[in-house]
A and B are shown apart, each in its own frame.
Chain A
Amino acid sequence: EIVMTQSPATLSVSPGERATFSCRASQSISNSLAWYQQKPGQAPRLLIYGASTRATGVPARFSGSGSGTEFTLTISSLQSEDIAVYFCQQYKNWPPITFGQGTRLEIK
């Protein structure tokens, strides 16, 4: 099973500033990585797949990068509606599909 590790656990960012999330895979997953946003009481929403491709309707301020074992999700200019928990997920080797433990984004 591929273990996904996210850091930090909580990220505090001021409005308009950049937010950077990290995700590490326990072995190479090429670019088979997705990012999700989950707001309280809602289902996760797909943001990024293929490590860097934005899903339909996702604002351009969200971008993804990385390959192999190290990945990054960046919000270029934080908006208040971006407050959520962000998860990464690998789909290179399954079963099982595995998720990171999540990073909580809060407003500074």
Chain B
Amino acid sequence: QVQLQQSGAGLLKPSETLSLTCGVAGVSLSDNSWSWIRQPPEKGLEWIGEITHSGNINYNPSLRSRVTISAVSETQFSLTLNSVAAADTAVYYCARGGKMRRFLDSWGQGTLVTVSS
């Protein structure tokens, strides 16, 4: 049973940088793909991007200019989102996908990130 544990700051001011890390237990990053997803309050799910089992990175075109996803170690990956605004207020999740099929079978606990002046 893989476990994902998220960490990072939850309160930011406009124009600051969001930084979150997801640690995985029980597997290594090379075993699967790993995604970041966000959910604004009372709204739906938006896929931000992923790091694949081979280390490639894919982004949602809607956020590509501000997002960086990278591997921190064999068992940790990170999300950076630049120049945040109130519209970036959301619960951010990390999740595991397959090597070939991108359904998400394990999720982190979620981190509420609030952007407010």
> Of B8-16, B53-61, B75-83, which binds chain A?
B53-61
Set of chain A residues within 8 Å of B105, measured between Cβ atoms? 46, 49, 55
Q: In the bound complex, do residue A95 and residue B101 qualify as a contact, i.e. CB atoms below 8 Å apart?
A: no
Q: Give the complex CA separation of A100 and B44 in angstroms.
A: 8
If over half of B's interface residues share one DSSP class (helix, strand or loop), that class is named, otherwise mixed; here it is strand
Residues 80-117 of chain B, each 1 if its beta carbon lies under 8 Å from chain A, else 0? 00000000000001010100011111011110000000
Given A46-B105, A49-B101, A89-B103, CB of A95 within 8 Å of CB of B49: yes
Q: Interface size class for chain A? A: 20 to 34
B45 at interface by CB-CB < 8 Å: yes
Across the interface, name the chain B residue whose C-beta is closest to A91: B102
Chain A residue contacts of B97, Cβ below 8 A: 91
| Contact of A101 with B44 in the complex, beta carbons under 8 Å | yes
* Residues of chain B with a CB closer than 8 A to A43's CB: 93, 95, 107-110
Q: Does any Cβ of A come within 8 Å of B46's Cβ?
A: yes
- A94 to B60: give the CA distance in the assembly, Å: 9
List, in ascending order, chain B residues with CB within 8 A of A71's CB: none
Binding site for A on B (CB under 8 A): 35, 44-47, 49-50, 58-62, 93, 95, 97, 101-105, 107-110
21 pairs from A and B in contact (CB 8 Å cutoff): A1-B61, A32-B101, A34-B104, A36-B104, A43-B107, A43-B108, A43-B109, A44-B107, A45-B107, A46-B104, A46-B105, A89-B45, A89-B104, A94-B47, A95-B49, A95-B50, A96-B59, A96-B60, A96-B61, A97-B102, A100-B44
